[in-house]
Amino acid sequence: MKFKDTKLNDKLKKAICEMGYEDLTRIQEETFEPIFRRKDVIAMAKTGSGKTAAYILPLLQNINYTNKSTQVLVVAPTRELVIQIVEQIRKFCKYSQSINCLPIYGGQEIRLQAILLRKGVKIVVGTPGRINDLLDKKVLKLAKLRTIVLDEADEMFSMGFEKEVDEILNSINISSQKLLFSATITDRVYKIASKYLNDPITINCSDDTSILVNEVVQIAIDVKEKMKNECSLRILKKENAKNSMIFCNTKKKTETVYKYLIDNNVKAEMLNSDIRQEEREKILKRLKNGELDTIVVTDVLARGIDVEDLDLVINYDIPFENEYYVHRIGRTARKGKNGVAYTLFTGKQIDRIKEIEKYTNKKFIFENVPSISKDINVDFPISNRGYYIITLNIGKQDGIKNKDIVGAIRATTGMKTEDIGKIEVNDNITKVEIPKNYIGDVVAKFENGIIKGRSVSIIKE
């Protein structure tokens, strides 16, 4: 179904269209109608499936424009998520000017929030702790609340917000509509649902992984662990991406990758649990503003942050969970753009690659480590197989064997053994066939390289 065929009003449709959305995702198709009808809903769909729009659009349609009191309360587990939801709501409301929306979370000045709330805020989005604070202080008033949404309910409970959520639900009007959105529905989510929801409709789209993955070009590169830094650097250069993210499985990795990129003049930052909240927000802002080329992140940190418009994702490590994979690469498929996602794997991880293909129902394109696009003046003889022939100034007398050359080329350029052509080790010199697309790399690495302790250079015969 297309947005233009929904019963959303024209102002919403105009904003949605500008955001580049055309078709509803599955969860959106399923939730719109019951939410319009003011039913209680439990909805489950994977991360990246468009849950925010799934609840907020029908609610925006139902908002009473003249009533200034808080009509919708969205509760979300983290401050990043709160900010992201508010940003999205504001975009949807671009042409619906009388709808206002306020984020509330710990760390903000309560006094200021009180002033803003007193003026009348139709939609409040907040973290459980801060919502409770403001309820206790009677700053946030929910007497006229029409709908409460618990977003990422599972996450909220696993973060220990059960008591706060309970208190919030106890303090709202019994007749309010209650919507519960989650990537997974756990026992605790069910418990809350059965306690507070009134004859809810359960919508389960958890088997739907297609949505945002379909648009992404997925490339897999078989690369040695040691070459991953270099490989990532080359991907960044090759794709010339304006903003990208590099995903690692551990904090430690983010540090080494970050350092490597910085040393190679990439405008990079990293996001991991050592980076303080305020700093994280600044970094995200800089990425959004185009001041950074890339950020290196872990899954934990990436969860809940919404950076739109990524044109490139690099999976430096294969994620532990297939779902993380979808979440990572989903970031490049926004606004109907075609993103590119590279996944680096070491040979024996091919099974994981196969698993992901099965999970996403889409095949990878397998590529080699990108070669350095270096403008070199290529002037080498060409073999009858169409390879360039380079001549190195070392040979048998230096103790060089065929495998030393293969090893050196593989280690420095990421080429595979089968890509390297014929190698002919003579007494004093060695001739190597190099495919044309790798010549730049090989020349760059061998101009002043070292093999077996011998300094090597390319010579002209």
Using rule CB under 6 A, residue 53 touches ligand ADP = yes
Task: Give yes or no for residue 51 binding Mg ion (CB under 5 A).
Answer: yes
Rounded to whole angstroms, the Cα distance separating 318 from 41 reads 35
Binds ligand ADP (CB under 6 A): choice among 308, 355, 357, 419: 308
Is residue 47 a contact point for ligand ADP (CB under 6 A)?
Answer: yes
Q: How far is CA 232 from the centre of its chain?
A: 16
Contacting ligand ADP (CB under 6 A), which of 8, 12, 13, 25? 25
Q: Which residues contact 310 (CB under 8 A, 6 or more apart)?
A: 241, 243, 244, 245, 331, 332, 334, 339
Question: Counting contacts by CB under 6 A, is residue 48 touching ligand ADP?
Answer: yes
Contact segment (CB under 6 A) with ligand ADP among 16-24, 155-163, 385-393, 408-416 equals: 16-24
Among the listed ranges 23-31, 68-76, 118-126, 266-274, the one in contact with ligand ADP (CB under 6 A) is 23-31
Q: Least Å distance between CB 29 and ligand ADP?
A: 9
Strand, helix or coil for residue 344: strand
Eight-class DSSP state of 261: H
Q: How far apart are CA 109 and CA 114, in angstroms?
A: 9
- State the minimum distance, in angstroms, from the CB of residue 334 to Mg ion: 13
Q: Under the criterion CB under 6 A, does residue 334 sit at the interface with ligand ADP?
A: yes
The answer to whether residue 177 forms part of the interface with ligand ADP (CB under 6 A) is: no
Count of residues that interact with Mg ion, criterion CB under 5 A: 1
- Minimum CB separation from ligand ADP for residue 312, in Å? 16
Residue among 105 and 364 whose Cβ is closer to Mg ion: 105
Is there binding between residue 182 and ligand ADP (CB under 6 A)? no
Cα–Cα–Cα angle for 344, 255, 240, rounded to 5 degrees: 50
Residue 4: CA atoms inside 13 Å, Cβ hemisphere, count?
A: 5
Neighbours of 3 (CB within 10 A): 18
Structure tokens at 178: 């209650």
- The contact pattern for ligand ADP, residues 343-382, with x = CB under 6 A and - = no contact, is ----------------------------------------
Q: Give CA–CA dist 300/109, Å, rounded.
A: 27
452 phi/psi in degrees, rounded to 5: 50, 40
Look at residue 25 and give the partner it binds from Mg ion, ligand ADP, none, a contact being a CB closer than 5 to 8 Å depending on partner kind.
ligand ADP
Q: Which of residues 242-301 bind ligand ADP (CB under 6 A)?
A: none
| Choice between 336 and 386, CB closer to ligand ADP | 336
Report the residue number, 308 or 355, with the smaller CB distance to ligand ADP. 308
Q: Give the residue with the Cβ less far from ligand ADP, 181 or 316.
A: 181
Can you tell me the distance from the alpha carbon of 373 to that of 235, in angstroms, rounded to the nearest whole number?
11
Q: Which long-range contacts (CB under 8 A, 24 or more apart) does 93-100 make?
A: 93/15, 93/60, 94/14, 94/15, 94/18, 95/11, 95/12, 95/14, 95/15, 96/9, 96/11, 96/12, 96/15, 96/60, 98/65, 99/60, 99/63, 99/65, 99/123
- Residue 430 phi, psi dihedral angles, 5° rounding: -135, 135
**Interface with Mg ion (CB under 5 A):** 51
Q: Which residues bind ligand ADP (CB under 6 A)?
A: 21, 23-25, 28, 45, 47-53, 212, 306, 308, 334
